[in-house]
Amino acid sequence: MENRKSVEALHIDREGSGTRMEWTAREFPLTIMLNGEQLVTVLCSPGDLKALAAGFLFSEGMIRAKEEITGLTLDGERGIIRIRTATDKTADGKLFMKRVLTTGCGRGMAFYSYADLDRKKKIRSDLRVTPAEVLALSRRFQGASELYRTTHGVHSAALCDNREILVFAEDIGRHNAVDKVLGRCLLDGIAVSDRILVTSGRISSEILFKAAGSGIPVIVSKSAPTDMGVELARELGITLIGFVRGGGMNVYAGEERINLLRGEPGAAPALSAAAGDEGSSANEE
């Protein structure tokens, strides 16, 4: 199924008005069945749905490894994905009592409880990044989404090393985009430790939970964090970088991973070389 659809719209500007065709992002309801029972229905973009489902289960702590998945089938016509796990887990009542309505696009939910967070378990990583590397990654990231350029209606997320985008995903929901990245890494056996998560949306506590559960040490966004996002990043030992734009950035937590020294072997080009205003096209909500 296409991720976008052309619709007729009345366009009005200073020169007058008229009808024209505009691209819109498709919205697709996907029901995730876990071991024969309905777990949740997610409103999403209809692309890489198996990765979305796997990433959702992984980020919510229901599975920890690909080997736990014994069956994964998608019925695209009915919008149903069926997952079987080795331990035959089901969506029990206690799980649903822990639902949290998220701040994502539309009405999202998560199954974690804030009391479940082990705040003593900090992310340990030797990863170091330079400001120039962050700016260069952000620039590549902003140019990676053709769907955003045509619809202006989706979010993006990516797993990166210091120089390249390793996994990229886009979705109408910023949480879904992150789950698609995590799910693709899980299904393809891509390690996420010592990697960077780049996201187009604001960095809220839900994104921190997803990163922490995966062991990702650095999060980067052109948008702002929430206060709880900053608090959790500091407690969990995650480097949180926001407002990456116009040649600058704010480091809200984990500044010890930012290498400000120049001239080191393998360092990125000077800050001015990777800088430059990336415009105002970021999908920030």
For residue 2, count CB atoms less than 10 angstroms from its CB and return exposed for 0-12, middle for 13-18, buried for 19 or more: exposed
* Tens-place pLDDT, residues 142-185: 999 888 888 998 999 999 999 999 999 999 999 999 999 999 99
Q: What percent of the chain has pLDDT over 70?
A: 80
Phi, psi (deg, nearest 5) at residue 165: -85, 125
What are the angstrom distances between the C-alpha of 216 and each of 85, 191, 207, 233? Answer: 24, 10, 11, 11
Whether domain 131-274 has CATH 3.30.465.10: no
| Topology agreement, domain 28-114 and domain 131-274 | no
Quote the pLDDT of residue 121: 77
* Tens-place pLDDT, residues 146-157: 888 889 989 999
Quote the pLDDT of residue 260: 87
* Tens-place pLDDT, residues 27-77: 999 999 999 999 999 999 999 999 999 999 999 888 999 999 999 999 999
Whether domain 28-114 has CATH 3.10.20.10: yes
| Domain residue spans of the chain | 28-114, 131-274
* Angle, alpha carbons 255-202-229 (nearest 5°): 50
Q: Which residues contact 86 (CB under 8 A, 6 or more apart)?
A: 67, 68, 69, 70
pTM equals 0.84
Residue positions annotated with a catalytic role: 105
